[in-house]
Chain A
Amino acid sequence: MLIIGGGVTGTGLARDLALRGVESLLVEKGDINAGASGSNHGLLHSGGRYVATDPGAARECHEENEILKKMAPHCIEDTGGLFVAVEGDDEKYAADFPQRCSKCGIPCQWLDPKEAREMEPVLSTKVIAAYLVDDASIDPFKISLENIAQAQDLGADLLCHTEVIGFEKENNRIKTVRLINTNTGKEISVEPEQVINAAGAWVTEVAALAGIDIEMLYSKGTLLVTGHRVTERVVNRLRSPGDGDILVPGGTVSLLGTTSIRIDSLDRIRPTIEEIDLMVDEGSRMIPALKGLRYIRSYAGVRPLLKMDPGLDDRSVSRGFMLLDHTDDGLENFATVPSGKLTTYRYMAEKTADLVCERLGVNAPCLTRTEPLPSTPSGMWTEPALGPKRWIRENHDDPLLCECELLPKSTIESIVNSIHEHNGDLSLKAMGLRSRVGKGACQGTFCGKRISAFLQETRQMEGAEGLDDLRAFLQERWRGERPVLWHSQIMQAELKEALYCGSFDLETQT
């Protein structure tokens, strides 16, 4: 069994299959969560957002929301969520909301706007309608890391930095899959019985290698990270989904998003200044304070959407789950999961595993509805408040390498170990995908140098390799910082440049 793609879908599938006794190999061309699974809102939808546009998806969200809160509570902060309309918003949409929710079975409680402002004092005085729903915040990094960790414990294999470069077909089946290690260039071949393409935004490329045409749309979404947590609950704008209308708490910060911009190419996905300004302006209509806040960074992800009706705009294309069985395309042991949502990842994995098991003749029920997701060391450092909690509690002889997120040396060691366990390539960027490294206010200014020094000292990285890694890490942070360089964050950026360019002359070193 071969799974292509190490996002939340692929890792969830690996776990589901492992629990049914099916061993799999998961290959990921980059690193775990390097795509959309690592660059989303971290929102566990109540379903409320989709009640008008996609009731089916809304219902799926609601059901999965309840299951995940029970099965993976350590990945979720059950914040609750508000939907609020402000003066000027479509009043009919607001009025229809509770009825639409109830049609989808989604709990929704009417609130007096005054009451809503007591719950979240930062809300605008211009709120005209408010409802309380079951939204929550979910840690997408942790979910994927925990899924793959349990799958590996149960016998699954993981190869990061491993890309599919070709399929060899025989008798309506994929016989051999050719893989390449993107770092070493070394090629290997595997002969799986079943192949699932869960490559997210890259499903088209993978399917094309098997001669199958899948047409996808790509919609870029940009998010903004605030310097501190703005609200206790998720706050949604009560209107037809639009830009900058959701604010999700993520531990010690809040995430404002998103935009939806059609893109033709998956190269160089980056947040733009226009998107940031639009979101700050829109978001501030719900929460005026968003105008004057400090933003630490931004990031952009790609929503892969299956192209269906050319008349629909990107937000109307179903975000619901779809599984493409390629038997009709002439390949009996191949299927693609083209798109989906973080909230419903478990359901997608279940349905996909059902198909795989049916094809393999395995008669084992799905256990992820009832079997809690274990908490493991490899997923623990993604949590924003854990560093501080741990460090204050244990405050032992353990120097802090990251002061913004309070990550001591021992934590960095454990993150390094988890990368080795994933057969991943050690780099500062890889550490950032597994932890809060570089995500605080200084955006890598101090922790970047210190952790790079730690890697030198422990001989995990030597000589010029260390400088190259540091440069790549700082550039990665820069992508997210660049659009938010005003007020405090331009000061931070100036300090960073004064050090790395002014003092270290890193830009002219060859």
Chain B
Amino acid sequence: MAENKTIECDLAIIGCGLSGMAAALFASEQGISTVQTGVSGGMIFASGLLDLMGVHPLETGNKWIDPWAAIEALAMDIPDHPYARLEKGALRESMEQVVAFLGDEGLPYLKDGENNSEMITPLGTSKYSYYVPQTMWDGVKALKERPPCLILGFDGLNDFSASQIAGTLRDQWPGLRWHNLQFSNSGTAAGLVSGDIMARDMEVPENLDRMVSEVCPHLKDAEAVGMPAILGMERSHEIVEKLSNELGARVFEIPTMPVSVPGLRLNEAFTRGLSAKGVKLFFPNRVIKWEQDENGKLLLGIGRNRPDKWIRAEGVILATGRFWAKGLRADRDKIRETLFDLPVLQPGERKEWHRREFFDPRGHPANRAGIEVDDLFRPIGKDGGPVFDNLFACGSILAHQDWMRMKCGSGLAIGTASSAVDAFSSFNA
């Protein structure tokens, strides 16, 4: 270990998905000197929506318009769920803090009072979410009021299909039509168009003007126009506003399949904003080795393949996510935590990990496996005590939750990040 390359900090955050980013935000706003590492987080796979809580109990598929009431019911029924450890006011404040930050970074969000909003998904199904990007907000209204509406797609933009959305919704929404546009600028050799290239193109005023003139003939009676979320990488809400004014119809974005532009927007907003707040970001780097020094501080060796820098931290927050993000690893016999080999709450034998029906409403037990923590969000060992006094965990790696089925991913990521940072602060005080 080369001492001269060691970076000293109060808090090191491992992971750059929503939970790691939120933790870095909370830490920096508390004035904690913070270092963050990670490899292209789950963030770029995000749809841009910030879910809080949607479905409980899973068996019944019961959807809640009031997520706060749903959380109360959940905490009663599943007392080990991470939400049961969060104080409601703190959860609310942490969400507000993230949304305020994103607003400052050019990604304003809206919500319907204390309630969930119903959103159009890229399949044309609908789902409940809590905070909705402003660029998508008129879609919430359109889905509720169902005015004459046009869904626009683009030839070659493979992961967004206007016809599929309109086809799925047509029985409940007779005034819904679809049309595909050509957007010649972005065509590649194979006729494919990538969302991020289109989004950059949309920031060029001439391209936007041309699109307006191409859309106009198809508008007819449409009062609202749904488009794939490719309207600019930055300040997209201004592009949406401009389009709405020029078309004389309310334009809204609909999420696309990953890697999606709203995911990239979030990633960029966090990276930019956190840097500005003084968080030292080391992306893309993973923690390859760790040690504990004689004072109990944790040393993290980071790099791409082997450690080329070391971080010495008073405390560490583990926000490494689940299988996709490689925070957890499944071997044939057991699920493991990949970095510290922390104890993982197991979902039984492998034959019990997943149910026979993919869409079994109860969800798959493997998705509730994960790290168990104490009241200070410290991973606990077999004896029930913390594995390290100064190691905290947050986000989807936590056990006893199924964010995909409960639709609680963002709230869980943000709320537990806030609690983990608070726990670290009290530890470090």
What is the interface of chain A, defined by CB distance below 8 A to chain B?
A: 270, 272-274, 277, 280, 395-401, 408, 446, 449-450, 452-454, 456-457, 461-464, 466-467, 470-471, 474-475, 477-479, 482, 485-487, 490-491, 493-495, 497-509
Contact = CB atoms under 8 A, between A and B. Distances in A.
B332 A486 contact: yes
B361 interface: yes
B163 A450 contact: no
A505 B126 contact: yes
Interface of B: 45, 47, 54-55, 61, 63, 121-123, 125-128, 156, 158-159, 161, 163-164, 167-168, 170-171, 180, 189-192, 255, 257-258, 322-324, 326, 329-332, 350-351, 353-354, 356-359, 361, 364, 366-367, 403-405, 407, 409
Given A486-B332, A508-B63, A497 B55 contact: no
A494 B397 CA distance: 13
A404 to B, nearest CB: 14
Given A397-B191, A456-B167, A502 B409 contact: yes
A457 B159 contact: no
A409 to B, nearest CB: 8
Contacts of A454: 161
Contact of A495 (B45, B63, B191, B192): B45
B159 A456 contact: no
* List of 4 A-B pairs having minimum Cβ-Cβ separation, nearest first: A453-B161, A505-B127, A478-B358, A453-B164
A466 B164 contact: yes
Contact of B163 (A274, A457, A493): A457
A485 B328 CA distance: 13
Contact of B367 (A273, A463, A497, A508): A497
B322 A494 contact: yes
Nearest to B352: A273
Contacts of B63: 508
A494 B323 contact: yes
Nearest to B334: A486
B158 A399 contact: yes
Nearest to B46: A503
B404 A497 contact: yes
A463 B257 contact: no
Contact of B353 (A470, A485, A491): A485
A408 B332 CA distance: 35
B127 A475 contact: no
B123 to A, nearest CB: 5
A272 B358 contact: no
Contacts of B189: 395
Contacts of A507: 61, 359, 361, 405
Contact of A485 (B170, B324, B366): B366
B331 A464 contact: no
Given A494-B367, A503-B255, A505-B128, 19 more contacts: A270-B356, A277-B332, A280-B332, A395-B189, A396-B191, A456-B161, A457-B164, A457-B180, A463-B168, A466-B167, A467-B168, A475-B358, A487-B331, A491-B326, A500-B359, A504-B125, A507-B405, A508-B55, A508-B361
B352 to A, nearest CB: 9
19 contacts: A272-B351, A395-B189, A397-B191, A399-B190, A399-B191, A446-B257, A453-B161, A456-B168, A457-B161, A463-B168, A467-B123, A485-B350, A485-B366, A495-B45, A502-B409, A504-B125, A504-B127, A508-B61, A509-B126
A30 to B, nearest CB: 20
Given A504-B122, A504-B123, A397 B167 contact: no
A195 B168 CA distance: 44
A177 B404 CA distance: 51
A478 B331 contact: no
A501 B125 contact: no
A491 B324 contact: yes
A457 B127 CA distance: 23
Given A397-B191, A503-B122, A508-B63, A485 B330 contact: yes
Nearest to A273: B351
Contacts of A500: 359
Contacts of B361: 507-508
B60 to A, nearest CB: 10
Contacts of B407: 502, 505
Contacts of B255: 503
A188 to B, nearest CB: 32
Contact of A471 (B359, B364, B404): B359
A260 B136 CA distance: 54
Given A456-B163, A478-B357, A504-B122, A487 B329 contact: yes
Contacts of B128: 505
A426 to B, nearest CB: 15
B170 A501 contact: no
Nearest to B364: A497
Contact of B330 (A277, A477, A487, A501): A487
A498 B323 contact: no
B357 A475 contact: yes
A477 B357 CA distance: 10
A273 B356 CA distance: 12
A24 to B, nearest CB: 39
Nearest to B126: A505
A504 B123 CA distance: 6
Contacts of B330: 485-487, 490
A475 B356 CA distance: 9
Contact of B359 (A273, A466, A503, A506): A506
B323 A504 contact: no
A500 B350 CA distance: 23
Contacts of A464: 168, 171
B127 A450 contact: no
B146 to A, nearest CB: 16
B104 to A, nearest CB: 26
B359 A446 contact: no
B9 to A, nearest CB: 30
Contact of A501 (B45, B324, B405): B405
Residue from A396, A462, A502, A506 with most neighbouring chain B CB atoms (10 Å): A502
